[in-house]
Homo-oligomer: A and B are copies of this chain.
């Protein structure tokens, strides 16, 4: 019972040994992360099409719930760029931005996503996330970064625009270009330029000025806060909101409210697929970050328990005015680098954000939306990395095809079709490759007991013995391939008296392949040709023993291929008379 409780409540593990030292480290990390998160949370809410406070609410209760249920010591849970984009895309299909229905649908999405993650975790189905191959994820994140940056251009220009694909968005922005608000553009462009400079140029400068690396890092992370403060003051001082500069406006001064997600069957049905997609993409991003950080300290994370932790966080978001959340890369790395030792750091961050929600929200009244857009653009452009195309091209054309399809289709058709196509293409190409496995006719390397491909090596062969090594598991996708192969070889050469299938790379023989082996056996038997297996693995042999195949086999199973060679060659067995 205790064991089970501790499995599902990791807090019981680290909580028992929590001490003053860990407390002080966690507190310092929490202060740094809180400062970074305030503008980021507002910005991601904007990206998701929600009121700014939703971003802060989504960072408070979810972080606390993750601290109870999650297994990573350093993961920081909250709104992230890609999930915010997916939320905007999904919720935009069922409600108009700015309406009450939109915010309720975002809560529903968080609830469904949380429920799905929790179900995956309880049924230990975390392996499903593996269907997103690395190239597909890399392609998807790159394309999402471009989509997100493009979606923020309208705020920098101060125009109205819409659309969920690159073409739609660019078209919409171009058609509204004449409405550009020049003051907004100046603020947005200056903020973007400043933030890029902070990211690239400030840190070296601070180091040269004599600051320690950690201090330089912290100041660099505070760049967005500086941009927020300066542009807010300018807007307030010069009354720029009267000149058409869009501002954040009044944000309720309150702790996260208790909210109720929409539960209409129609809404649930429409959001089901996006909820699954958000869950899986969010989980993959989160678990990669968690694993990377855990490995640095030889800690373990449990992917199935991570699902439960993220599920709880999302359900929490659904009932406290938030929207779908996951473990973010940037905030987690900052948290880790700032010295966070336990999930308590996350809880302290939540307290910091709660204080901000109650006390600081009036201060962002004059914050221009263009500044938030600038912070998003600078953050997501660091996600854009086309080098995956070059890397996969050099290594594997099918991985390249998957990543290229994901990028093109995400930009062209939107995030859902893009990532779904990438997954299906990865699976399809994998199955295609295994449907035409590498097969070698092998012969004896003279003076050894080794057998090698007759086309690559100088080897001994005998016309009466056909030795075939198959480099793949035998299953339905390639079962007929083997039948065709052997039938073709037998139709060609008639001197063959024995066929030996060398199976060291056969990790599985499914029922279809068993029937194909039986068919091969019967056909060869009709021609008086022996059919043998060699080097069959233990688990495969165990399974074959449960069938009639071995008793009907017109030949033997040899432990090593050399045994078969010795047994079948000195006095070739003719079974034509059978």
Contacts and interface: CB of A to CB of B under 8 A. Distances in A.
Interface of A: 127, 129-136, 291-292, 294-296, 298-300, 303, 391-392, 394-396, 398-399, 426-427, 430-438, 453, 456, 471-473, 475-481, 483-484, 487-488, 490-491, 504-505, 507-508, 510-512, 514-516, 519, 523, 526-527, 537-539, 543, 546-547
A396 B505 contact: no
Contacts of A438: 507, 539
Contacts of A516: 134
Chain A interface helix/strand/loop/mixed: helix
Nearest to A470: B507
Contacts of A481: 127, 130
B508 A505 contact: no
A161 to B, nearest CB: 33
Contacts of A435: 127, 130
Given A295-B523, A298-B490, A511 B476 contact: no
Contact of A127 (B436, B456, B507, B512): B436
Given A476-B130, A478-B130, A515-B134, A547 B488 contact: no
B514 A479 contact: no
Nearest to A512: B134
Given A395-B546, A507-B505, A299 B512 contact: no
Given A295-B523, A296-B526, A487-B300, A431 B395 contact: no
A223 to B, nearest CB: 29
B395 A131 contact: no
Contacts of A398: 510
A133 B510 contact: yes
Contacts of A523: 295-296
A507 B392 CA distance: 18
A303 B537 CA distance: 31
B511 A546 contact: no
B456 A508 contact: no
Contact of A300 (B300, B433, B488): B488
Given A435-B127, A435-B130, A477-B130, A471 B537 contact: yes
A473 B391 CA distance: 20
A431 to B, nearest CB: 7
Contact of A491 (B300, B436, B546): B300
20 contacts: A129-B480, A131-B476, A131-B477, A133-B479, A134-B476, A291-B483, A292-B519, A295-B487, A296-B526, A303-B484, A392-B511, A394-B546, A396-B510, A396-B543, A427-B427, A430-B477, A453-B538, A472-B473, A472-B507, A505-B507
Contacts of A490: 298
A475 B430 contact: yes
A395 B517 CA distance: 14
A547 B136 CA distance: 19
B511 A133 contact: yes
6 tightest A-B CB contacts, nearest first: A133-B476, A399-B511, A134-B512, A133-B512, A295-B523, A471-B507
Given A303-B484, A436-B127, A135 B512 contact: yes
B511 A134 contact: yes
A298 B477 contact: no
Given A134-B511, A295-B523, 9 more contacts: A134-B479, A134-B515, A291-B484, A294-B487, A395-B511, A398-B510, A453-B538, A471-B539, A505-B505
A530 to B, nearest CB: 16
A329 to B, nearest CB: 15
A391 B547 CA distance: 8
Contacts of A472: 473, 507
Contact of A130 (B298, B392, B480): B480
A394 B507 contact: no
A407 to B, nearest CB: 15
Contact of A504 (B135, B484, B505): B505
Most central of A396, A399, A507, A511 by chain B CB within 10 Å: A511
A479 B475 CA distance: 21
A294 B519 CA distance: 13
Contacts of A543: 395-396
Nearest to A539: B438
A136 B510 CA distance: 12
Nearest to A492: B300
Given A295-B523, A399-B511, A526-B296, A547 B476 contact: no
A443 B450 CA distance: 22
A536 to B, nearest CB: 12
Nearest to A284: B480
A302 to B, nearest CB: 9
Contacts of A395: 511, 514, 543, 546-547
A490 B136 CA distance: 29
A396 B512 CA distance: 10
Contact of A456 (B135, B295, B432, B538): B538
Contacts of A488: 300
A179 to B, nearest CB: 40
